[in-house]
Structure 1
Amino acid sequence: MHKLLRDFEGSNVETPTVDPARIRSGIDRIHVEAALALNLHGSFRKAADALNMKPATVNRRIRDLEFLVGVPLFERRHRRAVPTRFGKIFLRQSARMFVDFHAMVEGMRRISNGQAGEVAIGYYGPLGAGPLHSLLLNRDPQLGEIRPVPVEFASGSLFDALIAETIDLAIVYGPTSQFRGESQVLWHERVFAVMPQGHPLADRVSLRWTDLVGEAFLLSHSEPSDEVRNFLFDRIRPQGRAPVIVEHNVSLPTIFRMVRAGQGLSLCLESALADSAQGLECREVIGAHGPELVPASACWLPEHQNPALGRLLSILRRKHGLAVVRGVAAA
C-alpha cells in the first residue's frame, strides 16, 4: 500500500494520454466479476448466490465474455466450471487488475480524508538529534500511512517555499511574526556554547553570558537561526562589551572544525550536538531566568489543500500540546 500511495502522490509523474475509444473492448466490469466469482466458487449456482443473481444470468455473462475475448475461458464439467488454459491467463491478469484498481480507489479515499499521503516538510540546519530528527527520519506508528518528506532549504527561503507550494509545512526556529499564515510552537531547544577541548570554560558544568564576554564567536550564515545569533547581542552587549562575531558562509560542521582548530567559540541548538565530533566541548548556556530556549514552530498556509497535513498537525498537537495562533508562534 505504501508504494502505491507514493505512486499516487508523485506530482512529477506525467499522466499518460489514453484514447478510451481506441482500446474499447465491450467487456464490462460485470463480465469480469462473473468470471472471477465462477473461478472462486466453481459452480454457476454458488457464483450466482455470491453475486446475488440467477445462475442463468451468470452463465449468460460468461458466454458474452468468452465471445468478446474470442476464446473459451471455462470448461463445463457436470456441475463444475473449470478454467481453460486461456481462462487461467485471463483470470490471473484480470484479478491483478481488479486488486490494483481496488487498492487505487481505497488509496485515493484515504488520501482525500487525510489518512494517507505525503507531507513535504521544509527545514534548515542539522538533523543530528531531537524532535525534528524524530519527525523527519524516524517512523512514527501514530502517523500510519502519512509520510513526512524532508526538504532542506536555507533559513530565509522557507516562507517563500510555502507560498510557492514547494512544501506543505515549514519548521522554523525563532519568531514567526513575519509569516502571514498560521503557526504553532511545537517544542523548544536549549542553546549550547561549543569550544575546543582544553578551553578554560570547559571546566564548568554550564555557562552564563557573563562567562562568554570577550570570547570570539564563529557563526554560519545559515546556521544557527537568527534567534541564536541575536543572543550574542542581546545578552553579551549589556555586559559592557560588544561581542566579537565572525560569520562564514559554511555549514555548521565546518564551523565546528574551525572551533576545534582554536579559531573561536560557537553557539548551537541542542539538535546540532550530535554533529559535533571529538575534540569539542559543549556547555549549556543559562540566562537570567534559566536555560536559554529557542522555539521551533510549525508554519503553514491553510489555503493549501493537503488533507494529510491536517492529520499530521493534529498528531503534532497531541504530542506537543500548544495552541495555534495566526501570524505568530504561541509562547
Structure 2
Amino acid sequence: MELRQLRYAVTTADTQSFSRAADMLKVKQSTLSRRVMQLEHRLGIKLFERTTRGAEPTETGRVFLEAARRILIDVEDLQTTARAVNSGEHGRLTIGYCSSLMAGPLRLAFSDYLTRYPDVQFDGIEAGTEKLLNGLQARTIDVVIAPAGNEQSDVQTRPLWSERLMAVLTGENRLHENKRIYWQDLRREVFVVPSNGIGPNLANLLSARLSEQGYRPKIVIQDTSLESAISMVAVNRYITIATEASQGVTWPNLHFREIYDPSGPARLEFALYWREGNQNPALLRFFELIEERYPG
C-alpha cells in the first residue's frame, strides 16, 4: 500500500469525482482511477460507488478513508517536524552549567533561547565543572557553560562573559562598612562554599588569592547549593563569595560587597565548551544566539 494511493483515494472522496481529484493532484484521470482500483483490490473492499455523477464513498469506504486521512495528516506532521529538527527549531538540547540562574547573562541566554525556540526540548544540568566536562565527553551533554581555563583535548571553547565577584556577609561583619573590599581584607575570614556547581571553582580561587607562607584560608565545604551556602552566612559564622548573578533575589540581613584586585573589580571569566563534530541543529541555533548576544 502506497501513500500515493491513500492520497488519491482521500482526494477523490473530498471532491467526489475522479476527474476533479486528478485535476487537483495534477495527474491523468486514468492513472488516478487505476491506482484507486488497485487499492480496492488490495484491501478487498469497494471504496466508491461509481456513477455518471461522480464517485461517492461506500459505507465501508468512509471508515477506511477517515483512517487514511489521519495517516496522511500524521505523515505531513512528520515531514514538518523533520524539517524543523533539521533547522534547529525542534529537537533536544542539553546544556550543563554551574553558575547561578537567579540573574545575569546565563539566565538571559537561556531565556532568549527558550523564547526563540519553544519547541526544542531544553534540558539543563547543574553540576561542578569536572562532572559537566565528563558529561560532554560521554556525549550526554551538548554544551557546557563554566569558568574559563578548563580546556581539554577534542573540546572546543570560546570566551563568553565575565561576572563580578562579591563577598557575601552580614551587617555584623567587620568588613561591612568598607567601601571597597580587597582580597587581602578577606584573610582570616572563614568561608563556606558548596561542593557542587561553581563551589569548587570558588574554593580554588580563594586558595589561590589568599594563601601565603604559613597560612591557608579556612574553607568549609558543604554538600549543598550555592544559594543554601549564601543563606548559611546569616548565622554570622561564615562568609562566602559569589558572582553578581546571585543578587537576583533579596537576601534578608545579607550584604553583597564587590571584591577588588589592584587593577579593578575582581571578575570570574566564563567560557563555552562543546565537542568537536557535534552537529546537533539545536546546538547550532544556540551558537547563533550566543554569537548574536556575545560576539566573539
What is the TM-score of this pair, normalised by structure 1?
0.78
CA gap of 1:77–1:281, structure 2 versus 1, over 3 A, is farther
Given that residues 159 and 179 in structure 1 are in contact (C-alpha distance below 8 angstroms), is that contact kept between their aligned partners in structure 2?
A: no
Partners of 2:95 and 2:86 in 1: CA distance: 19
**Structure 2 counterpart SS, 1:46:** helix
Number of residue equivalences? 296
- Is 1:88 matched with 2:55? no
CA distance in 2, matches of 1:83, 1:134: 56
Structure-2 residue corresponding to 1:155: 129
Find the counterpart in structure 2 of residue 29 from structure 1: 3
CA contact (8 A) 2:96 2:143 kept: yes
Which residue matches 2:183?
A: 209
CA drift of 1:115 comes to: 4.5
Counting only pairs closer than 5 Å after superposition, residues 297-312 of structure 1 correspond to structure 2 as 297-312=271-286
Using the alignment, how far apart are the partners of 1:125 and 1:321 within structure 2? 20
Which residue in 1 is equivalent to 2:258?
Answer: 284
Give the Å deviation of 1:144: 6.4
In 1, the alpha carbon distance for the partners of 2:206 and 2:88 equals 43
Deviating 4+ runs (over 6 angstroms): 238-241
**Counterparts of residues 163-182 of structure 1 (less than 5 Å):** 163-178=137-152, 180-182=154-156
Name which of 63, 78, 84 aligns with 1:104.
78
Match of 1:9 in 2: none
Question: 1: distance between equivalents of 2:266 and 2:54?
Answer: 79
Whole-Å separation in 2 of the counterparts to 1:142 and 1:39: 40
SS at match of 1:300: strand
Deviation at residue 84 of structure 1 after TM alignment: 3.1
Alignment of 1:263-274 (within 5 A): 263-274=237-248
Distance in 2 separating the partners of 1:39 and 1:303? 49
Shift of 1:180: 4.3
How much does 1:147 deviate?
A: 4.1
The alignment's C-alpha RMSD in Å is 2.8
**Runs of 5+ in structure 2 lacking a partner?**
none
Change beyond 3 A, Cα 1:53–1:249: closer
Structure 1 equivalent of residue 45 of structure 2: 71
Q: For the structure 1 residues 223 and 284, does the alpha-carbon distance in structure 2 shift closer, same or farther, using more than 3 Å as the test?
A: farther
Provide the residue aligned with 1:16 in structure 2: none
String of CA shifts for 1:126-145, please: whole Å, max 9, x gaps.
42222323344565444465
| 8 A contact 2:234–2:254 mirrored in 1 | yes
Cα distance change of structure 1 residues 286 and 198 upon mapping to structure 2, 3 Å threshold:
same
Matching residue's letter, 1:185: P
Cα pair distance change 1:253/1:114, threshold 3 Å: closer
Q: 2:107 aligns with which of 133, 138, 157?
A: 133
SS in 1 for 2:175: helix
1:161-201 CA distance string (max 9 Å, x none)? 11111111111113123454100112211111111244343
| Structure 1 spans left out of the alignment, 5+ residues | 1-26, 323-331
Shift of 1:304: 3.4
**What amino acid sits opposite 1:96 in the alignment?**
R
CA contact (8 A) 1:184 1:299 kept: yes
User: In the alignment, is the contact (CA less than 8 A) between 2:154 and 2:276 conserved in 1?
Assistant: no
Q: Which residue of 2 aligns with 1:255?
A: 229
Higher mean C-alpha deviation, range 158-167 or range 209-218: 209-218
Q: Residue 165 of structure 1 contacts residue 304 of structure 1 at CA under 8 Å; is this kept in 2?
A: no
SS in 2 for 1:202: coil
Deviation at residue 318 of structure 1 after TM alignment: 1.7
Q: Can you list the C-alpha shifts for 1:61-115, whole angstroms capped at 9, x where unaligned?
A: 2233223223332334543333333333222221221121222233234434545
Q: How does 1:218-229 map to 2 (within 5 A)?
A: 218-229=192-203
| Alignment equivalent of 1:53, drawn from 22, 27, 37 | 27
**Does the 8 A contact of 2:126 with 2:197 survive in 1?**
no
* 1:244 shift after superposition: 3.0
